[in-house]
Chains A and B, each alone.
Chain A
Amino acid sequence: MLKYIALKGLLAILVAFTASLAAFLLLNVASDPAQAIAGEDATPDVVETIRIRYGLDRPVYERYLSWLAGVATGDFGESYYWHKPVAELVADRADETLTLALSALFVTILIAVPLGALAGLNPNSWIDRAALGVAVSAQAIPNFWLGLIMIILFAVMIPIFPVSGDNTWYHFVLPAIVLGASSVPAVMRLTRTGLIEVMGADYIRTARAKGFRGNALLRRHALRNAILPVISVLAVQLGQKFGGSVITESIFAINGLGRLALESILGADIPTVQMLIFVFAIVFVAMNLLADILNAALDPRIRIG
Chain B
Amino acid sequence: MTDVQITQTTAAPQAETEGLSPGQELRQRMLGHTGFLIGAGLITLVVLIAIFAPLLAPHDPYAQSLANRMLPPIWQEGGSADYLLGTDQNGRDYLSRLIYGTRISVTIGIGAATIGLLIGVTFGVLAGYFGGWVDHVISFLLTAQLALPGLLLAMALVFIIGPSIWVVIGIVGVLHWTYYLVVTRSATQRLRSLDFVAASAASGASAPQIILHEILPNLIPQIIVIFTFELGISILAELSLSFLGVGIQPPTPSWGLMIAEGKQAMFFRPWLVILPGICLFLLVIGANLMGDGLRDITSPEGRNG
Contact = CB atoms under 8 A, between A and B. Distances in A.
A262 B149 CA distance: 10
User: Which of A11, A139, A285 is most buried by chain B, counting CB atoms within 10 A of its CB?
Assistant: A139
A152 B268 CA distance: 12
A19 B146 CA distance: 9
Contacts of A246: 151
Interface string A19-59: 10011001101110000000000000000000000000000
B149 A193 contact: no
Contacts of A280: 147, 149
A243 interface: yes
Nearest to B147: A281
Contact of B152 (A145, A148, A265): A265
B281 A141 contact: yes
User: Which of A11, A26, A27, A148 is most buried by chain B, counting CB atoms within 10 A of its CB?
Assistant: A26
A26 B147 CA distance: 14
B156 A29 contact: yes
Contacts of B243: 142, 144, 247
Contact of A142 (B156, B160, B236, B289): B236
A15 to B, nearest CB: 5
Contact of A243 (B149, B280, B281): B149
* A interface SS class: helix
A92 interface: no
User: Which of A27, A136, A148, A280 is most buried by chain B, counting CB atoms within 10 A of its CB?
Assistant: A136
Interface string A122-162: 00000000001000110111101100100010000000000
B140 A11 contact: yes
A285 B143 CA distance: 8
B288 A22 contact: no
User: Which of B239, B243, B302 is most buried by chain A, counting CB atoms within 10 A of its CB?
Assistant: B302
Contacts of A18: 140, 144
A19 B144 contact: yes
Interface residues on B, range: 35 or more
Nearest to A189: B292
Interface string B277-305: 10011001100110010000000001100
Contacts of A19: 144, 147-148
Interface in A207-221: none
The 10 residue pairs across chains A and B that have the minimum distance between CB atoms: A281-B147, A26-B156, A30-B156, A140-B284, A30-B159, A19-B147, A18-B144, A19-B148, A15-B143, A140-B285
Nearest to B158: A30
A284 B149 CA distance: 12
Nearest to B267: A152
Nearest to A261: B149
A15 B266 CA distance: 41
A277 B143 CA distance: 12
Nearest to A185: B288
A267 B211 CA distance: 46
Given A11-B143, A142-B239, A22 B160 contact: no
Nearest to B160: A29
Contacts of A193: 302-303
Contacts of B284: 139-140
A22 B153 CA distance: 9
A137 B285 contact: yes
A239 to B, nearest CB: 9
B232 interface: yes
A115 interface: no
Contacts of B155: 26, 30-31, 265
B288 A140 contact: yes
